[in-house]
Structure 1
């Protein structure tokens, strides 16, 4: 097993082990970047069980759609924010290098801290 030396962000040298597990991992043929970002739906009063029909790689339209719905909500409404993709649960449970602590729990805890 080869040992590599890499630099950390703080300029220190660290050992890094490279492992070749001989698995040829590829994206599925139907993979579309931005599908998870597009999968967040906002609704008032009851859950929205939709799934995205188009990806939103930057999440801009998804964010704006959700913001518009929240802005129109009457005071004290129950607001649902959810993703209905099958793989959203593993992502929420930390199976992602982009969001290792999840998505919704982090946001929810941030809201709780802001209003303590």
Structure 2
């Protein structure tokens, strides 16, 4: 026996609740899965940024420690900060920026930067301690590590 529409154009009352309930349930389940997936992506983005920061810091040449101490992370906009002399203040600021990433709307850009005037020279191989730079090596390592990796 075929089902027909009622005169109002709606499904017969015997089946409409089931169809509507299943669609609502499916939509809710889809929303939960999407939220969980986005949370996993956020965690992966923060892990990638953390690994990038550690990579450039470890590869940075050390004389006074100022250059290594001036690697910083900022979210959504570049941060022009420079710390005079070595210290942990900037590292704490970067850690705080990464920790706040989960609360941000969307997926803003994460900036990893060193604002000292000689940073580009060091990246270009000026130092015998880091003749191949820091950023380019770290980017290559991260690309190899994350290539094809599933979140």
Specify if TM > 0.5: yes
Say which SS state the counterpart of residue 64 (structure 2) adopts: coil
1:68 corresponds, among 84, 87, 96, to 96
Q: Which runs of 5+ in 1 are unaligned?
A: 1-31
Greater RCO (Cα-Cα under 8 Å, separation 6 or more): 2
1:50-98 CA-to-partner distances (Å, cap 9, x unmatched) read 1113313xxx664454233223213633100101111111100111122
Partner of 1:79 in structure 2? 110
TM-score by length of 1: 0.60
Runs of 4+ with deviation above 2 angstroms:
60-68, 74-77
Q: Which one has the bigger strand percentage? A: 1
Which structure has greater helix proportion? 2
Structure 2: which 5+ runs fail to align? Answer: 1-62
Instruction: Measure, in 2, the Cα distance between the counterparts of 1:50 and 1:65.
Output: 10
| Distance (whole Å) between structure 2 residues aligned to residue 104 and residue 62 of structure 1 | 18
1:1-116 aligned at under 5 Å gives the runs: 33-56=64-87, 62-74=90-102, 76-116=107-147
Q: 1:113 to 1:81 in 2, by over 3 A?
A: same
